[in-house]
A and B are shown apart, each in its own frame.
Chain A
Amino acid sequence: AQSVTQLGSHVSVSEGALVLLRCNYSSSVPPYLFWYVQYPNQGLQLLLKYTTGATLVKGINGFEAEFKKSETSFHLTKPSAHMSDAAEYFCAVSRGGYQKVTFGIGTKLQVIP
């Protein structure tokens, strides 16, 4: 079985501050990991993904995430928050291309001017 835990359903940061959204996973085999972003009244959009290779993954809009096997974590970061980053973010895990994707419950990011 596989699962994803997102710590903090709501996170608030000031504009210009570091964004850190936490994700821990559970998987019996090497995982494939994803972050998706959902802007208000829109569908989910792939932000970045880790499959194999380099553990630091860069995505769109300045976001990046680091796969840490020893900590079973895949936290999402951005050095400087922008107002347009306000959205809901979902972490997801898969066991590979032919396996089911399991989503976390989401973290709503609020950016304060």
Chain B
Amino acid sequence: EAQVTQNPRYLITVTGKKLTVTCSQNMNHEYMSWYRQDPGLGLRQIYYSMNVEVTDKGDVPEGYKVSRKEKRNFPLILESPSPNQTSLYFCASSLSIAGGLGGYTFGSGTRLTVV
């Protein structure tokens, strides 16, 4: 089944403790992206990647890092999480470079709470 898999689904952590949210897609998509979803703000793009070893900042990149060493994987790293990073995170992938043609395939989300 074609899908984007995120792990974990739920995560509670403490301020400053480094964490990684994994994202993997099995569709051979070139384009991958991370979004955060907050009430009243919709989806905001954190980082995106157009291909292996090619990443760029989205609208809200502060406090986040990403890497794209393999085509299928695009982990999101929070090196020193803070409470304002408490949010629902989505990974998405697309065949075209920005989902602007075929649309995105989204993962099921990771609900992160930083205390």
Contact of A49 among B40, B103, B108 (CB under 8 A): B103
Asked if B100 contacts A32 (CB within 8 A), the reply is yes
Stretch at the interface among A14-22, A37-45, A62-70: A37-45
Interface size (B, Cβ < 8 Å)? Answer: 24
Contact of B106 among A45, A49, A97, A106 (CB under 8 A): A45
Contacts of A41 in B (CB 8 A): 108-109
How many whole Å from B47's CB to the nearest CB in chain A?
12
Counted as pairs of residues, one from A and one from B, with CB atoms less than 8 Å apart, the total is 65
Residue of B nearest to A95 (CB): B100
Residue of B nearest to A51 (CB): B101
Asked if B106 contacts A105 (CB within 8 A), the reply is no
Asked if A99 contacts B98 (CB within 8 A), the reply is yes
Asked if A104 contacts B100 (CB within 8 A), the reply is no
Contacts of A9 in B (CB 8 A): 40
In the complex, whether B45 has a CB less than 8 A from a CB of chain A is yes
Q: Which residues of A contact B (CB under 8 A)?
A: 9, 32, 34, 36, 41-46, 49, 51, 90, 94-101, 103-106
Q: Which residues of B contact A (CB under 8 A)?
A: 4, 35, 40-43, 45, 58, 90, 92, 96-109
